[in-house]
Chains A and B, each alone.
Chain A
Amino acid sequence: MYLPFDKLAELGGTVDVCIIGSGAAGVSIGVTLARQGHRILMCEGGDEVFSERSQDSYRGEVVGDAYLPLEASRLRQLGGSTNHWGGVCRPLDPYDFTAKTAAPETAWPISHTELTPYFSAAADLLDLDPIPADEPIESSALSRIYFSLGGPTRVQLKYADTLSESDNLLCCLNANLVALETTDGRVASATFANYQGEQHQVRARYFILACGGIDNARLLLWCNQQAGGQLIPQAQTLGRYWMEHPHATVGQALIFEPEALGLDETYNVFLSPNEQALANREILNCGLRLHRMNPEASQALIDELSLQAPSLGERIVEWQAQGRVLHGAMLRAAWEQEPRFENHIELSDELDALGIPRSRLVWQQSALDRHTIRESLLLLGEYLVDTDIGRVQLADWLAELPVTLPTDGELAGRHHMGGTRMSHHPEQGIVNADCRLFAQDNMYVAGSSVFASAGHANPTLTLVQLALRLCDHLNQRLTQA
C-alpha cells in the first residue's frame, strides 16, 4: 500500500524492516519479506516517474578516467535503475569469489555456494531465460558462455499490484533518507525528507540501505559524518574499492570456420577465458561478444586483411571461389576491474537540494585492467591463429602498448559496484558476510555496493541473490525474536 509522506510520523514502532530505496534490491527484499508476513516500510526518494528534481540529487563529479555523467547512469524513481536496465544477466563464476595472484583483493568473504540456493528465486524475480552451462571450446583457453538476454523486467510494473495492495508492504514515495540516528550499536531511527523540506523520523527493528552502487556509499559517508563517526567507527574503506565493468569495442575478426566457434546465424556468441588461462596470464575475468557483420562489411574486412597478409589473401580468394562464406565479426568486451582502494566515492563540497553533499567519483583503470582486456583478446587471436579458423585485429588503442583506453563510446556498463565492501574484518570492509554494518546490530546494506569483486557478469542477478539471502537471514532473526 502507498503511504503518504505525512503518515510516516504515525507509524510509531510498528515497522519490522525499513527499506531505504526501491530498486531491484529494495523491491526484492520488500516483496519477499512482506510475503513472509513481516511489516515492511519501503521509503523511496523518487516518485513513480523520474523528475528533474529527484534526478538532480544524483548529479556529481567524476575525477580520473572518462566516465558517464553520474545522473545519466541511474534513475532516481520507484523501481530505480530497473526502469532503464537492459536485463542481461549471468551469475558470477565460482572463480570470481577467490583471491587472484595478480589481485588478492578480489576475494569475497563468502563463496559462490552461498548464493547458489538463491539462483532460481532471483531468476523468477527477474523473469530470466534459462542460462545454459558454459561450454569449453576444444583446444582453446576459452569457453563459450551464456547470459539471459530476455526482456528487462521493470520491478515497479511487475510488482505494481503488491505495491498498491499489500497490507504488509507500505511504500512511501518522495521520502529521502537524510540522517540515521544511532545509539548503543543500533540504528534507532532514520530521518526522511521530502522536497518541500518536511522531515519525519521512522523507527524500525531493522534498517536496510538499498540506494544503489553510488548512493549507498554517499549516504553512509554523510550519515556517519552527521553521527560523529558512531555509525561506522572504522570507516577507512567506506566509499573505497569502487568498481565498474569497462565496456568497449575491442577489435574485429574474420572467421573462416564459424561452426568451430559454435557461431550460428544470429551470432550472439559470448566467449570468456577459462580459469586456467585467467590464472596463467594473471588477468581478471572478461567476457567477449561477437557481433556478425553484414556481407559488405565482411568483404571490406577481407580486403583489409588481404593487404596485410597477401598469402592468406590468396587462400581466401580460393576459398571464396569454392563458395565458402567467411564471416566478419565485431568484437565487444566487458571486463573485470581490479578492486582498488584508490577508486572511490567521496563527498563533494556542493550540496544537493536536500542538503546532502553530492558524490564525487574518483575512478581510474589500472595497469591490470588494461592488461586483462589485451590478454583476453590475444587469447582469442592466438586460438584462431593456432587452429587456423580465423584472424583477429585488435583495436588501435589495444594493439600498441601502453594501452590507451577510449575516452568516448560505451566506456562502461553503468554497473556501480563496491564502496561498502563485504569483508570478514571491519578494517577491510564496511559490511560483514551477512551484509550488516560491522558496528550496528540492526542495519544492513543491499545492492552491488557490497561486492568485494566484480567478475565480468552484469551485477543485478548477483545483487538480487544477495538480497534474497539477506531476506532469509532477517526472516530468521525476526521469527526468532
Chain B
Amino acid sequence: MKNTPYRTNPNVLLIKTYYLLYVSSIRKFALVGWANLHQYKLSVGNVGAVTFQNAAFHNAYNTLQSKPSKARDNITIMLPTYTRRRLLKAATLAGMGVVLVPVSALLPAASAQSQPPASPSRHTPDSIMVNGWLLRASDR
C-alpha cells in the first residue's frame, strides 16, 4: 500500500454514514446529519467504526426540535473513531426517548474517486459545523 494514492487504492475504504434520529414521542425519523465521506484506512485487525459524541448528539437533537428544515440540512456532525461495540452502546440512549441510527456504507476508495475526499477523523471531539461555522457544541 505504500505510496499508492488513497484515492485509487482498492484497499482503502471510505465510510459514508447518515444519521437518522428517531424521536419516540412523535414517532418520527429525521436525517440530522451525515459523516461526509469520512475516510478511514482500514486494515485487517483494526476495523474502525464510527459513532457520535454525546455533545454533538444533543446539539443535533436540539436543532431538530427548534430549527427550520434548511438549518437542519446544514448540520454536519464531526465524528471520532470508536469500536463497533461502543457504537452500539452509544446508539441506544435509554431514557431520552431517542435513538440515533447510523446508516453506514463502506465504499472502496477506488470506486469513489469522483467524490472529493473529505475530512479524516478530527482531534476535537465536540466541534460541529453550522452554516459553515466551525463551532464548539457548547457555543449553541
Measured CB to CB, the residues of A under 8 A from B are: 99, 101-104, 251, 280-282, 305, 308-312, 367-368, 370-371, 374-375, 378, 381-382, 384-386, 388, 391-396, 398-403
10 closest A-B pairs by beta carbon, nearest first, are: A381-B134, A309-B139, A399-B132, A312-B139, A371-B117, A367-B116, A370-B116, A401-B36, A394-B132, A393-B132
B58 at the interface (CB under 8 A from A): no
Return chain B residues, CB-CB under 8 Å to A401.
Answer: 36-37, 115-116, 118
Q: Specify the chain B residue showing the minimal Cβ separation from A390.
A: B134
Interface SS, B side? loop
B108 nearest CB across to chain A (Å): 15
B106-140 contacts to A (CB < 8 Å) = 113-120, 122-124, 127, 129-136, 138-140
Contact of B135 among A281, A367, A385, A403 (CB under 8 A): A385
User: With contacts A310-B140, A382-B123 known, is A101 near B6, CB below 8 A?
Assistant: yes
User: A251–B129 Cα gap in the complex (Å)?
Assistant: 13
User: With contacts A308-B133, A311-B138, A311-B140 known, is A368 near B117, CB below 8 A?
Assistant: yes
Return chain B residues, CB-CB under 8 Å to A394.
Answer: 129, 132-134
B127 contacts A396, CB within 8 Å?
Answer: no
Task: Please give the number of chain B residues whose Cβ is less than 8 angstroms from any Cβ of chain A in the complex.
Answer: 30
For the A-B complex with A367-B115, A388-B136 known, give 20 more contacts whose Cβ atoms are closer than 8 Å: A101-B6, A102-B6, A282-B117, A309-B133, A309-B135, A312-B139, A367-B114, A367-B116, A385-B127, A385-B135, A391-B134, A391-B135, A391-B139, A392-B134, A393-B133, A394-B132, A394-B133, A394-B134, A401-B37, A401-B118
Q: Which of A280, A391, A396 has the most CB of B within 10 A?
A: A391
A382 contacts B5, CB within 8 Å?
Answer: no
Return chain A residues, CB-CB under 8 Å to B118.
Answer: 371, 374, 401
B135 contacts A104, CB within 8 Å?
Answer: no
Contact of A282 among B120, B122, B136 (CB under 8 A): B120
User: A396–B74 Cα gap in the complex (Å)?
Assistant: 11
A371 contacts B135, CB within 8 Å?
Answer: no
A394 nearest CB across to chain B (Å): 4
Contact of A308 among B114, B131, B138 (CB under 8 A): B131
A385 contacts B5, CB within 8 Å?
Answer: no
A103 nearest CB across to chain B (Å): 6
